[in-house]
Structure 1
Amino acid sequence: MTDIFVKGPVIAPRRRRAQLNWLLTVLPAFPLMLLVLRLWYLSRQDLPTMLLLVQYINPLGMISALFITLTWAVPAVILALRVLGGILLVSKPGDAGRSMVAVAALRMPDWVVLIAVLIAGFTWQLRMLPTLEMLVVAVLGLTAVQRLRARRPVMLWITIGVPVLVGLLTWIFVWPGVVTAVREGEYGTALLLAVPPLLGPLLTGPVPARWARLVTHWPAIGAAMTLPIVVGVVFLRAPVLPSSAVEVGPKDGPVREVVRGQLIAVDDTATTMLDSLGDVTFIPNDEVRSKTLCPEPVRPPESAVDVRGWPIETSALEWIAPTRKVTEIDPRCLGRPHDPA
């Protein structure tokens, strides 16, 4: 491993340390920026409403929503860095010291990669699992090339035989889904299921040295520019407040209206609600007749394709874990008063 840093020109230690300091500064700021943007988006760009949300919203709830929504992104970053950096390390070792991607891959502990694989296996949708298989066999093959000093037949088995065998097993498993996707005209889904198992053997060995930085750095730069946008768009749509419906009316009289929206807070005097237009409503507690939680609207599936009974838009965790099925919608969630009878 140390030979990689001896050959060729390297970044001056002071400059490398400065780049790392900038990276460590930006990384914690990105989640904070996402949380602020989520409140700004929720308040419909109204500063007083945003300040009210900041006052009442629990930061732990925001962080939980961020974690649940973006769990898939962390394994993607780790595995992509490990594969791209590993390709550069085995293709052009003399240039590895000048590449942050190669340095990150070289210093990445194996247990971090293992945890990333386990998280991805449970949280990625089924249609992305063939891509995960491709990344896993690539990491195993590149690690063997870097660390093992075995005979050529053993290396050929690890870098070519194992990826081909695992890819064949993956193909056998996803083949019914590929056929269904082609029949339904979902060619993008068919490509996601069928192509990655074929690419595994191509990612376990070196590429020509003159092309090494091109095939590793440009994908890394493209992913680094695209991922924050994708993460931001996904998180801005994630719910951070409970959807509720409140019946309002005099204590001994009929229900005057049903206020629907997101529940911000309940204090000694009033219940604070945020409606879909970004308007804040303060309801006196003595006029609150009843309250209920409303389920989030279930989006219809974008694809009807499944693989052996497993919908391609469902992760293993969603498929295995118990879910709360809503069989009847409370009329208050539809804006109608609740009938006690």
Structure 2
Amino acid sequence: MSRSKIVVIGSSNTDMVVRTSHFPEKGETVLGGEFMMNPGGKGANQAVAAARMGGEVVFVCKIGKDVFGSQSAELFEKEGIDVSYVLVDEENHSGVALITVDANAENTIVVASGANAHLFPKDISSVESIFSPEGFVLLQLEIPVETVRYIAAAAKSKGGKVILNPAPACELPDEVFSGLYMLTPNEKEASMISGVNVQDLDSAKKAAEIIYKKGVEHVIVTMGAKGALVFDGLEYVFIEAQKVVAVDTTAAGDVFNGALVVALNEGKSIIEAAEFANKASAIAVTRLGAQASAPYRGEIMEEVSK
């Protein structure tokens, strides 16, 4: 199955989730709703999703010396993730995210980054031995941009294939893009990076072309319930999303990226990998929670056989 270890580097949070009928307006208090506390963080979500898909995953993150951090590390081990490079910050708290999910399964998220914001290049320099030729490194943007830039350069210097999921959306220096194996923005992120207002397939194609010209080898624009657009500089391929009744979209993109990197690591083509990732994210949105929503590989195989 997996040809080499997959390195995921990013954030680990504890998600505090409230379900509500609607998002409150400024100054409004909304009563009622279900409360849940779940493990999350984009890096951790993607690491768990990749592990459940059958990948051999090494996760690099920084947690606080607190109950949230210790619980997260225990959960990673239970998922079969290599936690040898999970770092403990003696001074800062573990990351926490406050999430509100409305009746339409849309969400708003506020993150207190804590230790995630203190994962610096000096921390990565001690773990560079895990980067390997042709090995995949999966990154997101809930850690400092300077660290993302450092990791991308270090992994590429060893012949690694770096996939950056540019979420949450933020301004990025152009040198981050140069030499990336793949960028996987959603519509909002693609709009910010390209300067094109992505609203439909045509605008997504324009954005993907601009991003490609920044030096990215492959671009996948994820478009939610519509599907995903794949561009390799020569051909556009649009992959329609499966039709499901969404309950919570919180970690759909993370599940997509985790499944995608596993399929690529197994030697599947980019189109095959994107189709596989689409199936995984379609299952994820039918469930509550972040990491809890990530399906296991067998569930996707069951869907394929139907």
Question: Normalised by the size of structure 2, how large is the TM-score?
Answer: 0.27
Tell which structure's C-alpha radius of gyration is larger.
Answer: 1
- Which structure has more helix as a fraction of its residues? 1
Structure with the bigger percentage of strand? 2
